[in-house]
Structure 1
Amino acid sequence: MAVLPVRQRRLALLGGGFSLDDDGLLDDWLLGHARTAGPRVCFVPTASGDAAEYIRRFYDVFRSRHAGEPSVLPLFRRELDDEALRAFVLAQDVVLVGGGNTANMLAVWRTHGVDRLLREAYDRGTLLCGISAGANCWAEGSHTDSFGPLTFLPDGLGLLPGSVCPHYDSEPGRRPSYRAAVADGSLPAGWALDDGVGALFLDGRLTETVTRVPGAQVYRVEPDGRGGADERALPCRPLT
């Protein structure tokens, strides 16, 4: 059996991008970390139920701003058999996961075996990334409104150790609810993202944090050992 070469595993958490921002700064930063110029970029809109408007905006933005080959992986009206689905996912240089319902997305992925394919793609050097639910999914757990009120979800693909909380500065209740979940052990220590930031992990290690919004930050949130949580803001390089 042939042994595959070891490739650097790449993962990015986003607090913005094509679906929220008009300046393209986070998209440009993200694509700059793909393994090739003019990358094949696949948008996965499962968390939104494959919303047509979300898909249209992805194509409009990437075809007008970026070199490369955009595509979409729909699962609610799936057309590819298992062999073709695997070939399609593994051919991508970037897999970009959209926002929506984290819990529903994970369930659909597992039904179709997409969770296993994403792990395989990750090990082969595909850049995995996303916003909101598309950031939550890569960790061991996350902070989510998948069930209505804000709560903790001790579920995810586990490619990134710990937990993730998106929209840290923009949605009321996010900060205290996430801190409480980390403090009492409902979620492991993790990463909180303000809107407008990006965080890059190489082989599971945080290597870069950036922001397109002055003052927006990435935070490390950990139990303080006294029943509370410590929150540490990480320096973010401004994108221009």
Structure 2
Amino acid sequence: MKKTLFFFILASICQITFSQNNTNSKIAEQTIFVYGGNKNLKFTQYIADLTQKSNPKICFLPTASADNESNIKSWNHYCKKLGLKSYVLRVWVASNKDNKSFEDILLNMDAIVVGGGNTLNMLGIWRAQGIDTLLQKALNKGIILSGGSAGSLCWFDSGISDSRPVNLSVINGMSFLPFSHCPHYSDKRKKEIYNEQIKNKTIGAGYACDDKSGILFRNGKYIETVSLNDINHSYYVSLNKNIVQSSKLPSRILVNKDALSVKDYQTIDINKKVKEYAEINNQDSPLNAFISFRYIKANGQQSKYKALTCSFLQKSSKDAIPDIEVDVKTRDKEMNTIVNKVFIYNDLIAGVVSQMSDRDYYLWFFYKEDGKWLNAGEYLGGATKLESEITFREEVKMHLKRIKKTTPNR
């Protein structure tokens, strides 16, 4: 009986020890998210969501831009907008007993975001400071690594960079991802050089990202592509029978979680130029209000702007706006402005998407006040009509709240 009990206890101890060892030996999931251009609010939100934490610690590394204060300021702005505490690792520092070590900072983060700039200089500093080794430890620990431009190229075997004088050239990265890479693939010259280097077999097959597109990798494998609009994509670029093949990857367009559903508002397709409408002074619809507004601008009657603006803008504008003379070229631009779409939410606030020449799309808000649709401000909608619609969906509630705040009787 005693012998049986002894073997039972021994077996239990062995089982517990094996279970603990098995748990301890489990390798953390390695996650890397790269994107073609510089950092932006939506990709920062995407990275925060990847951590699956309500208040993640995300550290920004502006090494490639020499710890540029403007880049740090924009990072602080994104963190404030997302309700996150801002962490920044600067490398231009002097020894101080009150400083935390690079290891203490990086290995206690949930995610690390690397900014753009000179990739070669950044990698040189990292190696000198041992930061490259710490980033490998962070990846192995399960800390998410991310970045755009120089901040994406650094994770790959090799890729195309403008880090050297005169010409674009191939540089070697840290090989956390076993592929080549080209950020800014929407740049024609970078695309040509990258494809050419793959064709010459100077570098192997890899992934390329347009400025507003990014790729998620887990454990060295492609997971998904996300983009900010419908014209920026990511690609797998390879050589097949001496022909470079650039395969566009399916992309999910990012939309903020609190944005309107497409079912929440009315959409009216227009696609006409302002000059196709007669000159009017009518605000009984968002479209008429927009046409009236453009004609006043084209005719130089700026003093009439105030009559067409909501109380929110009236309070922030000067009492009198003088008339100005408009030259023929400016008038032609106004008259050739294309009105693309009109969005109406709750019969109270509307967005008008327009495009002047070959520029980006603009989103004009109009607010219904005393039965009239009045100008409530202009936004840069985006590079496409779809991106402009997403901007409307994401901004309309905030815009409406701000207008109502200054109009108590609403």
Q: Is TM (by shorter chain) over 0.5?
A: yes
Give the secondary-structure state (helix, strand or coil) at the position aligned to 1:229. Answer: strand
Query: Equivalences for 1:1-240 in 2 at 5 Å?
Result: 3=24, 5-16=26-37, 18=39, 21=40, 24-63=41-80, 65-79=81-95, 84-148=101-165, 149-153=167-171, 155-169=172-186, 171-226=187-242, 228-240=243-255
* Structure 1 spans left out of the alignment, 5+ residues: none
Give the secondary-structure state (helix, strand or coil) at the position aligned to 1:164. Answer: strand
CA distance in 2, matches of 1:211, 1:90: 29
Deviates further, 69-78 or 211-220: 69-78
**8 A Cα contact 1:35 1:126, kept in partner:** no
Which letter does structure 2 place at the counterpart of 1:201?
F
Give the secondary-structure state (helix, strand or coil) at the position aligned to 2:77. Answer: helix
Q: Tell me the TM-score normalised to structure 1 length.
A: 0.90
Which letter does structure 2 place at the counterpart of 1:150?
L
| Deviations 1:199-219, CA, capped at 9 Å, x for gaps | 100111111111112121110
**8 A Cα contact 2:37 2:184, kept in partner:** no
More helix by share: 2
CA distance in 1, matches of 2:53, 2:252: 23
Alignment length (residue pairs): 231
1:17, distance to aligned residue in structure 2 (A): 5.8
Query: Alpha carbons of 1:80 and 1:199: their partners in 2 closer, same or farther (altered >3 Å)?
Result: farther
* Structure 2 spans left out of the alignment, 5+ residues: 1-20, 256-410
CA distance in 2, matches of 1:73, 1:123: 20
Residue identity over aligned pairs, in percent, reads: 30
Greater C-alpha radius of gyration: 2
CA RMSD, Structure 1 to Structure 2 (Å): 1.9
What is aligned with 2:288? none
Deviates further, 52-61 or 107-116: 52-61
**8 A Cα contact 1:163 1:187, kept in partner:** yes
Q: Tell me the TM-score normalised to structure 2 length.
A: 0.54
Which letter does structure 2 place at the counterpart of 1:47?
A
**8 A Cα contact 2:58 2:110, kept in partner:** yes
Query: Alpha carbons of 1:90 and 1:238: their partners in 2 closer, same or farther (altered >3 Å)?
Result: same
1:15, distance to aligned residue in structure 2 (A): 2.9
CA distance in 1, matches of 2:145, 2:88: 14
**8 A Cα contact 1:17 1:26, kept in partner:** no
Which letter does structure 1 place at the counterpart of 2:254?
L
Q: RCO higher in 1 or 2 (8 Å CA, sep ≥ 6)? A: 1
Deviates further, 93-102 or 183-192: 183-192
